[in-house]
Structure formats: C-alpha cells, structure tokens
Structure 1
C-alpha cells in the first residue's frame, strides 16, 4: 500500500509538471537584439514577509510558459501574463506563474511571458524590445490556437505594474507590427487585465524607474531628476508610451484594478486610463481598493474581496459562452438535498443578486441557526431570477420569500431594460409566490450613486424611481415593503461610504443595518393572513 501511494504521488506530480511547458518565443533570431557578451538571465528567490517571490534579472532570452487547462474544463479563453518589475526585473512568481495556475483552475489557458528587459547594450532600440515580445506572444498563441484548444478571438493580455504598462501598450499599439507578421495575424488582444498598472509617462503620474528604464538615456548626473527633458527623453517618446493618450475606439475591453493608497505607482495612472477608455466608449470594468500596498499580485492583504475573483466573473460574463443564462444549475444539488420543511418551520428564502449572495459570507451571524435559505447569484437581473424562481423558491416550500432585485437591470448586465420591465418582472415573481401560498416581501433596491463596473450610468435617480414603483405595488396589494434605501442612502442617494467600499455592495456594517430591517419585515409578513 505504501508503494502504491508513493507511485500515485509520483504520477500525480508528474501530471502537474506536464501541465506547463516553457518554449522559446522566437523560432529563429530574436529581432532587435545585439549579441550579449555574457549570458545574464538570472533567477533569484527573495523572501518577502511570509512569501517567497521569484525574481528574474537581465532577461535576454524571451520565452512563453504554457499552462493549458484540463481539456474537459477548457473554456477556449486564453490570457498572456506579463509580470511586473519596473522594466528592470520580472516578478515571475506572484505576478506570473501563480496567476497562470489560478486561471487554469477555471479552464482558462494561461501563458507567462518572460519578456526582454530594455537595455541599450543588448538591443538597437530598447524602447520596443518588450513590446515586440508581447506582440510575438499574441502571434504565437493565435497561430497555435487550434492545437492548444483556444478560441483565437478570446485571447487577452494581463500585466501588473510595469507589466501593466506593457500589456496596455500591446492593447493600444497593435495596429503597427513591430515584428515580422507575414500571415497578417491580428496582434490586437481581445481584452486587457491591468493590475496596479503603470500607464502614463508624464512627469506628474509616471513611475520614474519604469520610464527611465524603457525610454531614458540620461547620464548618472541627472538621474535624480523627475523631468523627462532633463532625463534625455524626447517628448515624442513620452507621449507615444503614455498609453492614456493612445486609446481609440478600437482599444480592447479592459478590466483594471488598483489600490487608492499605492505609494509606488500613483493610482492616477489607473484613473487616467479609465477616463480615456470612457471617452472613446471602450467597455471598462474597475475594481478599486480603498487601501493596499503596491505589488501584492492577486491578493491584497488589506481586503476580503479580491480583484481576481471579480476579474474571473468579468471574463465569464463577457468572453465565455453561457449555456445556462439564468444559472439554473447553481443551486441544483443544494435544492435536491433540501428536505421539506416541517409544519412549524418558518422557512424563508432570500432571492436576489450579489447583495444577497454576499450577505451569508460577510454577515454569517444573521443566517446561523435560522431557517433562512440564501438564493442570491452575483450579477443577476430580474429576467434571470424570474426564470429560476420556481426551482429556487417555489419548490423549496418556504413560508416567505424576500425578493431583492433591480440593481443589475439598471446597470444593463443582460442588456438594456426599462424600469417598467424591471418592475413587471418583480411583480411576476410576487404573483408566482402568492399563487403558491408563499408570502412576499419586496425589498427596495440598495442605494448606489455609480456602478464601478459600468461607470457613468447615473443610477441613483433610477433606483429611487424603481423603488417608488415597488412601494406603490406593495401598498395596492397589501404586500410588505422592505425599505433598505432610506436607512442606507447618503445625501446623493448613494450608498453611505461607511456601509460599502465600492458604493454598491454592503460591507459588514451595511448588513448590520439590513439584518434588523429584514427581521422586522419577516415578522410582519408572517403575521399577515
């Protein structure tokens, strides 16, 4: 038995090892390359707190490391990952290989790019060496898409810090090929993921080291300056590689994240790029942390909600086929294992979106030991909820259903909707419940001044209007109206800052307000005949 376990472990580890493979980026000569006098690809492991971070110095041999998912789980989506490091080193572990493994877990192919670092003694034009490698990586993945079980129209690029500058450069400079491209392969990534990125090379926003390493030519006497003219940088180069100035309507959809307190790369880089994308009507989803250091990779130690999870949802929503539009299978097994309530049990089902879904995670005390069932699904709109209402509410035989819906309708998560359509879907759920002997509580929509994933929609007055419609229907039909909005709104009809970090989703303090209001509404509903 011991030998069997050892052999099993050996084969299991072998399988994991075979899941990744490093290949040369170029099959022949590396373009824009001078012969190095000494080989300088050097890997060093640095201890940073409890973590070990692998660092590559002096890269002159560009490669791609392939992480191909289990074919049974492959979605056809791929991500090319550009580690950061100020164009001086590559942080290949936490900003490269760790991310690739995370993408593999959900069926996304990942490719860690070991790109050349700009050095004038190693390349005739150090400004474009890294970009050439990024373009070549896109070219290689597209050329091998069929072999690697990838959809050539679902290839994105991700970069952290200076790697974010490289990724955003690839996403804004794709119309000019900096490499040989005889087959006219598209060099445009289908989407970008930018993690605390360097974007601008302007004096006021840039990360000085990244800018100096990519386009600087100054001697040591003036390296302390922060002015590009004094650092030997032509204005043309500063503007060419300030990617907020290079956005066009053809720029790929973007997911972008950063902490407000980044003390290395100013968060203004992120905001400048968001503004440029919005100006050109390019879809952008944002995930901004209230706090956090620079360079945390996937996991901000100051936060519970992590950008990588939101990013995976964004990819799934926008770039993966959805054969289960209403997510009917989400609670299929839980519903099947749920026994019928006894006659004395006051079973309550909470039907909703991410605000309901997150309640169990952030405020478990509200749920523990009570006959409450959470059937919230992140991102859902009222038509999706209506489709799954029978299996996720009616078939569970609750005494009361608490319905909280409408935010994502206003955000247009499943396409444009009028407030009247949202109201009618909510009413339809209420009517289905009443027809099956289930008492109904209709909740107000939580206040929101703006949606981080779709900024500029001005949802606050629309939420107020929809709430008025819901409240009026409740009054006409003697249904309990659960008013969260009044208790949680600020002077702009947005969510009070102390009740939610992103202005939409409640935090623990927000749920502390919602809990007693919900309990009061449940008591009222159970008391109705």
Structure 2
C-alpha cells in the first residue's frame, strides 16, 4: 500500500511487528509470489503477525522479529524501486505437469552489479522452508557486503529439494548476464536440511539431480546438520554448530570436516558453546559474526 505524504507525494507504507502475515502476502509489491515469503507447507493463521511468526518455525531458536520486519520492508522497497526480487525457476508447462513446482522460486537480494554469487537454502526438516529465519537474513547481510544472494524456495522432500537447488544453479548460470551477477566461484549456503542440500548438490553435482553438469561451487557453507558421509569429492566446506544442538551433534560435524581435510580439501568448523539448533545468524549470541568468517573462508577459495 502507498499513502500520500504532507508534500503531496506518495510514500511507502512500511510493515511493523504487528502487521499480519496475510497482509504482507497480499501486498501489491509481492503480487504473484507473496505467499512464498512464508512457509507454504505450514498452516499459518491468517491473523498471525510478523512478531509471532517465530512461534510457527519448528526447530529454530533466537528468532528476531525485528529482522523479519526489516526483511519484508527491504524486499518491498526494492520491488517498488523497480528491482525484480523474485524469479521463477520452472516454466508454466513444468508447473502444470507438477503442481508442487508452483511453490518454488528464487528471492534475489541484489548486491553489486557483477558481484560474486551466493545461493542459500533454508532448513525446515524437509517439512517446510524456514527462509525468513534461515536464508533471507543471511542473503540480506551478504547483499550489504556487495554479494548477489539468492534464497531458494523449494519443494519439501530431500530429492525434490536437491532437484530444485540444481535447477536454481542452472537458472543463475544461464541468466548470469541478465541478472548482472558473476557466477564464477559461487557458493552454496544452507542451514539444517538446507545444509544437506548444499552439501549433496555441491558434492554430487547438478548432473545427479536432473540438470546438465554445471561447475562445482567454490565453497559450501553449512550450519547445524549431522551429515556424516565423505566421498572425497567435497568442495571446500565451512561448518558451524552449537554444543547443545539436540538435532545435529557437533561431534558428527567435526568428524566430517576432519575427513574432508584428510582428503586434502580446505575445510573449517566453528563450535559454539551452549547454542542449540537453528540459531540462524546468531545475533546476540556467542555465534554472532560467524557469517563474516564464513565469507572470508569463501573468499579464500576464489580463483577468478
């Protein structure tokens, strides 16, 4: 919505903590994709506010409603300024053949023109996509640093999710000129189930999930997932996790990083005392600042 200011010009009406999620979804700035800002696989009350969204995001901790408000306001501002903030990754024909593909796509937090590219997958246990806490905030912060950050909304189900991530990688590679991004040395980021997606696609490649082969990412950045397998084909990998995580034990993650290093590949892990699962950016916790260190790890892998 827009309202007239005292100078007669139209000014943007921003969302607040008390804004209803349903009003955000219906906002004209998000026409055609507003529902995908929030988990479509969860039954959210039509009167739920942005302040209360965190109560619905199972398995997550340290959710900051103020960050949620800043995200929807930034995306709206970008859209009203003429930026395209959402891209479909499947054609109308593909969506007609598989209606679940209607609930997929990429939210784009634009950084610098021709800046490097990060692709982020939120977690949610392959039950829902918790982007508002587990990928949008990271994308927002990466864009502030000049990186072009894409947050994927995918179909739940491990295989389908990896297919959607592979399609996103293909889409960005094939449209890099139009998007004005540098896809060389791109990185894959993910938390929980999203971290598994990043690891699986990063290791096995897009060709294993229905797309033609595209270059392997320069780095995989993973938060709190208990993946244990090491094949010897892993990209350079950064992990972070808390010691009180009851879903992804830090010991499993530490052993995997050691296994990747043993194969001669750069890998690093940060283990945060007392943190549970799903801390996101870790704002206000001992993990705060991990994203900056992950960026430095990614930069270390860049060749172009």
Deviating beyond 6 angstroms after TM superposition, the runs of 4 or more aligned structure 1 residues are 10-13
* Aligned match of 1:194: 222
- Taking structure 1 as reference, are residues 69 and 10 closer, same or farther at Cα in structure 2, changes over 3 Å only? farther
1:114 matches 2:148: no
Q: Is the 8 A contact 1:68 1:148 kept in 2?
A: no
Q: Is the 8 A contact 1:162 1:198 kept in 2?
A: no
* Aligned match of 1:307: 290
Q: Is the 8 A contact 2:78 2:85 kept in 1?
A: no
- The one of 97, 105, 127 equivalent to 1:88 is 127
Q: Is the 8 A contact 1:164 1:195 kept in 2?
A: yes
Instruction: Give the TM-score normalised by structure 1.
Output: 0.41
The whole-number CA distance in structure 1 between the counterparts of 2:102 and 2:249 is 29
RMSD across aligned positions (CA)? 3.1
Q: Is the 8 A contact 1:156 1:189 kept in 2?
A: yes
Q: Give the 3-state SS of the residue equivalent to 2:169 in structure 1.
A: helix
Shift, 1:299, TM fit: 1.1
- The one of 68, 80, 101 equivalent to 2:140 is 101
- Taking structure 1 as reference, are residues 253 and 273 closer, same or farther at Cα in structure 2, changes over 3 Å only? same
The whole-number CA distance in structure 2 between the counterparts of 1:66 and 1:93 is 13
Map 1:40-439 to 2 at 5 A. Answer: 61-71=103-113, 76-118=115-157, 128-174=159-205, 176-181=207-212, 185-200=213-228, 244-248=229-233, 251-299=234-282, 301-303=284-286, 305-319=288-302
The whole-number CA distance in structure 1 between the counterparts of 2:206 and 2:13 is 47
Give the number of the structure with larger relative contact order, counting CA–CA contacts within 8 Å between residues 6 or more apart.
2
Equivalenced residue count is 240
The whole-number CA distance in structure 2 between the counterparts of 1:157 and 1:247 is 18
- Taking structure 1 as reference, are residues 178 and 305 closer, same or farther at Cα in structure 2, changes over 3 Å only? closer
The whole-number CA distance in structure 2 between the counterparts of 1:135 and 1:153 is 16
Q: Which runs of 5+ in 2 are unaligned?
A: 15-72
Shift, 1:318, TM fit: 4.0
Shift, 1:29, TM fit: 4.2
- Taking structure 1 as reference, are residues 8 and 163 closer, same or farther at Cα in structure 2, changes over 3 Å only? same
Q: Is the 8 A contact 2:254 2:269 kept in 1?
A: no
Map 1:498-509 to 2 at 5 A. Answer: none
Q: Is the 8 A contact 1:292 1:300 kept in 2?
A: no
Map 1:9-48 to 2 at 5 A. Answer: 15-17=77-79, 18-19=82-83, 21-30=85-94, 35=98
- Taking structure 1 as reference, are residues 61 and 305 closer, same or farther at Cα in structure 2, changes over 3 Å only? closer
Q: Give the 3-state SS of the residue equivalent to 2:184 in structure 1.
A: coil
- Taking structure 1 as reference, are residues 160 and 5 closer, same or farther at Cα in structure 2, changes over 3 Å only? farther
The whole-number CA distance in structure 2 between the counterparts of 1:167 and 1:175 is 11
Map 1:505-520 to 2 at 5 A. Answer: none
Q: Is the 8 A contact 1:259 1:267 kept in 2?
A: yes
Instruction: Give the TM-score normalised by structure 2.
Output: 0.69
Deviations 1:405-460 (A, max 9, x none): xxxxxxxxxxxxxxxxxxxxxxxxxxxxxxxxxxxxxxxxxxxxxxxxxxxxxxxx
